[in-house]
């Protein structure tokens, strides 16, 4: 049986093989699955099978990986429309809505991926959920300034009242994002009832920078499991 890493590699490689062609502007996601797509892109550029690609990374980690593979990088400032973006996800619901950001890169991921003509999501099939918010944290990026006030405001928003909220920590200190912000992780006992409303209320909260609900963004979800690879489109 294929290991979880092998499944991640299968979907990472397939996403590049099927959706990236020469001359494209490509968004590079963040995480253990997206890293395989970056690896494959580097490999195909090196072999000459792909040419004239420029890419936009969604985190410092991914930027460093891409640089180590000689993938030419640009930014949204010069390339505001991407042909395709490829990234992993923490949860995928039946409508291909996502929770992202358990790896901490949600802001840059969302900024880049909303600009892509096609956003390709790559997951092993453990990421499928019947409703968003039930398999673990739903991350919210907040300003460090008065983060506790923002945490309390968010957890009392009408659409998600009753959730648990915790500041993400690393080595006993607040986890700091690539944008020098903090992350508040929300935990739910039931799926989020109205994810659109929850997203709206969070974004209207001053102090919230971005949230990890990626709604109506996926063009296709490529998943791998014991039954092989499946591609779902809306
Ligand atoms: C990072 C993310 C990742 O895409 C998500 O956490 C999935 O990561 P992995 O492929 O390692 O399971 O949103 O912010």
Q: Do domains 4-129+215-233 and 138-211 have the same CATH topology?
A: no
d(CA 50, CA 217): 26
Q: Give mean pLDDT, residues 178-197.
A: 98
Per-residue pLDDT, 234: 84
Burial of 104 (0-12, 13-18, 19+ CB in 10 A): buried
| Three-state DSSP class for residue 46 | helix
* CATH homologous superfamily for the domain 138-211: ACT domain (3.30.70.260)
User: What are the sequence ranges of the domains in the chain?
Assistant: 4-129+215-233, 138-211
For the chain, what is the mean pLDDT? 97
Separation of CA 127 from chain center: 12
For residue 27 and ligand 1, the question of a CB distance below 6 A is answered with: no
The architecture in CATH of the region 4-129+215-233 reads: 3-Layer(aba) Sandwich (3.40)
Instruction: Kindly indicate the confidence band of residue 2, based on its pLDDT and cuts at 50, 70 and 90.
Output: confident
Task: Name the token pair of 17.
Answer: 């093989």
Look up residue 117 and give its DSSP letter. E
Which residue has tokens 């997951």?
Answer: 123
Residue 109 is a catalytic residue: yes
Task: Name the token pair of 73.
Answer: 């990088």
In contact, 198 and 192? CB cutoff 8 Å: yes
Per-residue pLDDT, 67: 98
pLDDT digits (tens, 9 = 90+) for 20-46: 999 999 999 999 999 999 999 999 999
pLDDT digits (tens, 9 = 90+) for 155-171: 999 999 999 999 999 99
Mutate to test the pocket of ligand 1, among 15, 35, 87, 89 (most ligand atoms within 8 A of CB): 89
Cut 0.90: pTM above it: yes
């Amino acid at each position: 049986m294929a290991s979880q890493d092998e499944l991640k590699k299968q979907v990472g490689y397939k996403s590049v093989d099927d959706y990236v062609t020469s001359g494209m502007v490509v968004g590079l996601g963040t995480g253990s699955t997206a890293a395989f797509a970056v690896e494959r892109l580097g490999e195909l550029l090196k072999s000459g099978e792909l040419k004239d690609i420029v890419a936009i990374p969604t985190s410092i980690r991914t930027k460093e990986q891409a640089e180590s593979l000689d993938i030419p990088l640009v930014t949204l400032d010069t390339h505001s429309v991407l042909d395709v973006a490829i990234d992993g996800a923490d949860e995928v619901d039946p409508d291909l809505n996502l929770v992202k950001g358990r790896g901490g890169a949600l802001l840059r991921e969302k900024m880049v991926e909303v600009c892509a003509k096609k956003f390709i999501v790559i997951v092993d099939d453990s990421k499928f959920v019947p409703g968003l918010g039930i398999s673990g944290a739903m991350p919210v990026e907040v300003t460090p300034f008065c983060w506790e006030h923002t945490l309390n405001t968010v957890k009392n928003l009408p659409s998600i009242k009753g959730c648990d909220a915790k500041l993400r920590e690393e080595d006993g200190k607040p986890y700091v994002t690539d944008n020098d912000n903090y992350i508040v992780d929300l935990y739910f006992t039931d799926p989020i009832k109205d994810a659109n409303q929850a997203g709206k209320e969070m974004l209207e909260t001053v102090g919230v920078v971005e949230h990890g609900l990626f709604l109506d963004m996926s063009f296709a979800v490529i998943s791998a499991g014991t039954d092989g690879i499946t591609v779902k489109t809306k």
